[in-house]
Structure 1
Amino acid sequence: MGVLLVVVVVILAVAVGLVAWAVGAYNGLVQLRNRVGNGWAQIDVQLKQRADLIPNLVETVKGYAAHESGVLTQVTAARAGAVAAAANPGASLAERAAAENALSHALFNLQATAEAYPQLQANQNFMNLQNQLQGLEQKIAYARQFYNDVVMKYNTRIETVPSNIIAGMFHFTQAQYFMADEASRAVPQVRF
């Protein structure tokens, strides 16, 4: 009778230990999934601020570089694409990233064009807008790095033993990294 009691206690202890591990693994996965969502939300806030700043920047440049309409049109179209992708709840992370990368490329072209106009460079409004944009770009870069770091931790947890068992049972899926598209990786050509 004493041996049977010891066996039952050991089996209960192992069962309780397994349940505690499963609960801990599940909660850890949920926490990481929520951090991935929060990381994306932080990027989204910065991207929204950038999109809101761009019309003012374009209007300021337009006054000095009216004949550069191709660059201004490119920035306006890229901003519209980024805003549309952000407003579309069905847009994938890859689609959002592509739209934002196109906007970054267009902004680079706008800044390169603006450098050819000394009066524009001396305009205080333009300088303030450009400084705000540079600050936002730094925040976006940091937010993207943070997001990708959290995605790496989350995806690693989903793939590694033994937490992959819980991830599979509860249908945790991998998150996508925020990656630059091929056009953004190319070295930009600046010509005046």
Structure 2
Amino acid sequence: MDFLIGNIGLILFILLAVVLVFWAISTYNQLIRAREFVRNSMGQIAAQVESRWDALQNMIEGTKQYAEYEAETLESITSQRASLGQNASVSEVNKDDQLFNQAMGRLMAVGESYPDLKASSVYQETLKNVDRYEQQVRQSRMIFNDTVTKYNRIIQSVPSNIIASLFNFTKESYFENTETKTEMPSWS
């Protein structure tokens, strides 16, 4: 008993150290989970963007029988794009969007020049698919921004910011509205 009373400071110090270690581990794991949610959200965007490009590629194939030159131009635009993944940055996704909108604009102009193409069921169905994927991309961006908000809040809040800075967790960027993104595109 005398040993406990004499060493109460040491016992309290050990208990405090154990609590701090468990807190640090818990906080680190929370940061890892939040970062993985951000990466998963970007992966969802990448999957939707790929589907959107696949639908566009179907339209390009359908265009070949009407306007070979335009199909080649559109294929050159699609060849410029880089594949996106869960580690893609917001700026890479925005660049991909610009290429997609450029290709879609060209394709719409071809549709206007060739009424038979525009009236074809494949063209109309593919337009619906492109629009559906565009809506899913928009929804995925909103989820991504929500996920980034939660992650950024954790790494900036006291005391978790201590662990975040020790292990180099950095803020993530948001998708921001631009003039071209304020309205849903109208492909039809």
Relative to the length of structure 2, the TM-score reads 0.77
Which one of the candidate residues 111, 119, 133 is aligned to 1:114? 111
| Alignment CA distance shift 1:171-1:73 (3 Å) | same
Gaps of 5+ in 2: none
* Sequence identity percentage: 31
Contact 2:84/2:93 (CA < 8 Å) preserved in 1?
no
1:158 aligns with 2:158: no
Q: Find the counterpart in structure 2 of residue 138 from structure 1.
A: 135
Cα separation, partners in 2 of 1:5 and 1:49, compared to 1, 3 Å:
same
Unaligned segments of structure 1, at least 5 residues: none
For residues 158 and 91 of structure 1, do their structure 2 counterparts lie closer, same or farther at Cα, with a shift above 3 Å needed?
closer
- Number of residue pairs the alignment of both structures matches: 182
1:62-73 equivalences in 2 (<5 Å):
62-64=64-66, 66=67, 69=70
Distance between the aligned counterparts of 1:183 and 1:73, measured in 2? Answer: 29
Provide closer, same or farther for how the CA distance between residues 77 and 148 of structure 1 changes in structure 2, counting only shifts above 3 A: farther
Which residue of the partner structure matches residue 171 of structure 1?
168
TM-score (norm 1): 0.75
The answer to which of 73-82 and 25-34 deviates more is 73-82
Kindly provide the amino acid, as one letter, of the partner of residue 103 in structure 2: A
Q: 1:187 to 1:52 in 2, by over 3 A?
A: closer
Report the Cα offset of residue 130 of structure 1: 1.2
* 2:8 paired with 1:6: yes
The 4+ residue runs of structure 1 with deviation greater than 6 A are none
- Indicate the residue corresponding to 1:76 in structure 2: 75
Paired letter, 2:143: F
